[in-house]
Amino acid sequence: MKSRAVTLLAIALIATSTSCGLVTHGTKQTVFIDSMPTGASIEVDGTPTTTPAWVRLSRRNSHAVLARNAQGAIVWRPILTQTDWTVFVFDLVTVPVVFHVIDVACGSLNRLEPASLTIPLPPPDAGPEYRSLPKAP
């Protein structure tokens, strides 16, 4: 009977020792990306796709969305990784060291912002010297 109780306790500890962020939302996030006008060829971290698109991105890093016209003009927009404070606080309340180490290592302590992005296309007549970067907050 005693060994059964120890086994059940061990199973309960293992089941609850997985980090909060990893369990609730994982290491990747799906982000919706569109363009004005829709149907454009864009790149997300160098990988080509066509808008509108749902892309799965790692929560661990920030990402770059790039749109170009035929003349090489570029519009660039970031998708930034930010700490998810809800997960951070929950980790502190439960098992601080273990959960934080797991969530930080996996990137599951973060969320990506914006979760939805519409990127404008460069003007059709703009040349390679044209660069459109986001405005500073």
User: What 3 state SS string does 4-42 have?
Assistant: HHHHHHHHHHHHHCCCHHHHHCCCEEEEEEEEECCCCEE
* Domain contains 67: yes
Helices (H), the chain: 2-16, 20-24, 85-93, 96-106
**Where is pLDDT greater, at 17 or 65?**
65
Q: Is residue 96 in some structural domain? A: yes
Instruction: With a cut of 60, say whether residue 13 has pLDDT above it.
Output: no
Is position 14 within any domain? no
Q: Considering the domain boundaries, does residue 4 fall inside one? A: no
Report pLDDT digits (tens) over 82-126: 877 666 666 666 655 555 566 665 666 788 899 999 998 888 888
- Residue 81 belongs to some domain of the structure: yes
Predicted confidence at residue 24, as pLDDT, reads: 58
**And the tokens for 61?**
């890093």
Residue span of the structural domain in which 81 resides: 19-122
Residue 61 lies in a domain: yes
Q: How many domains does the chain have?
A: 1
